[in-house]
Amino acid sequence: MKDPGAVIEAFYAARAAGDLTHVAEFLALAGVWREPEVGNHMGTLIGAHAVIDMMRRAQHATAGTFRLRIAARLETSRHCAVHIAWSAQKDGAAIDGSELAVFAIEDGRIAQAQFFADNLTDDGRFWGETDRSPVAWPADVVLEGSYVRLEPLRLDHRDDLAEAVTDGALWRLWYVGGLAGPDGMDADIARRLRLRAAGSMLPFAVIARSSGRAIGMTTYMNIVPEHRRVEIGSTWYRGSAQRTPVNTECKLLLLAHAFEELACIAVEFRTSSFNERSRRAIERLGAKLDGVLRSHQSLGEGVLRDTYVYSITAAEWPAVRRNLCHRLDRV
């Protein structure tokens, strides 16, 4: 698809559907958000993440009721300008407005974009926003499966987790490193929540659907919003939950959200060279070995850890999804 008008039609169709994965396919932008210098000018968006962040902020401000259509379009061989009519609901009241956008198209993708919108106040906020802070990426979310529910980690998960970690005495596995025992659970939860506040981690408690109790933790970590890349790690489950569908379903939920909702380009996994069980589990997911970080971390007493780095890319995700679903269907 090379025609600028067709590219923009498809881009806005994906945007209207809230399909960030499809939207990202049209973006060949590089750089960061340039703040507007005057009133109702949104600034030049020269970063793919800035465009996606703009969309997320608009939907967040209107509780997901944001709708749009192309009211008019003008194009040349390399550029396309569109007039967008939009509508939304806020506190039961209907609101509407318009947006003018100008795009430069190269090789069927958006190379530059500039937006002018009346759904901004004079100080640059979307209608209904209280500030200009970007919505956290990834935002807090609850992921529901048949066996587990992943919910944002809270301090009141502490008692369940302190008991769960004793099942198998997981903190005593010398090659794991950094896993808290029952006495250190408060501090470990607080550490993860501090990283969440800093934007580098989204920690989850893993809740067993059968009991409603927390049986472990997992996270999105080493979050890099500008490259739409996360690592799934700092994961542990109580001993009795291992070698059950729990890990397979957790990874399916986290990977599906990362690729299908967050439009990630890759998801990374890391583990110790000594943790053969973890390495086998990652490889069974369909992740590919990117390399080994030699003497990457000190485990104390002169022991150095080599870290195996794996990843799954967006292009590999459909096959990985099918494999995970097949494994769960066999349970």
Domain ranges of the chain: 4-117, 143-329
List per-residue pLDDT tens for the chain, 331 residues long. Answer: 568 889 989 988 888 887 766 777 777 654 333 444 444 334 444 455 556 666 776 666 677 777 888 988 998 888 899 998 888 877 677 878 787 888 888 888 887 777 676 554 444 444 444 444 444 678 889 999 999 999 999 999 999 999 999 998 776 775 566 678 888 999 999 999 999 888 889 999 999 999 999 999 999 999 988 788 999 999 999 999 988 999 999 999 999 999 988 888 999 999 988 888 889 989 999 999 999 999 877 777 778 888 999 999 999 999 999 999 999 998 8
Give the per-residue pLDDT at 40.
38
Task: Give this prediction's pTM.
Answer: 0.63
Q: What is the DSSP letter of 70?
A: E
Give the per-residue pLDDT at 158.
94
Within 8 A by CB and 6+ apart from 303, the residues are none
Query: Check: CATH 1.10.287.70 for 4-117?
Result: no
What stretch of H or E contains 54?
helix 48-61
Peptide bond into 318 cis (omega under 30): no
**Strands ordered across the beta sheet of 41-45:** 41-45, 109-117, 93-106, 79-90, 67-75
Q: What is the fold of 143-329?
A: Aminopeptidase (3.40.630)
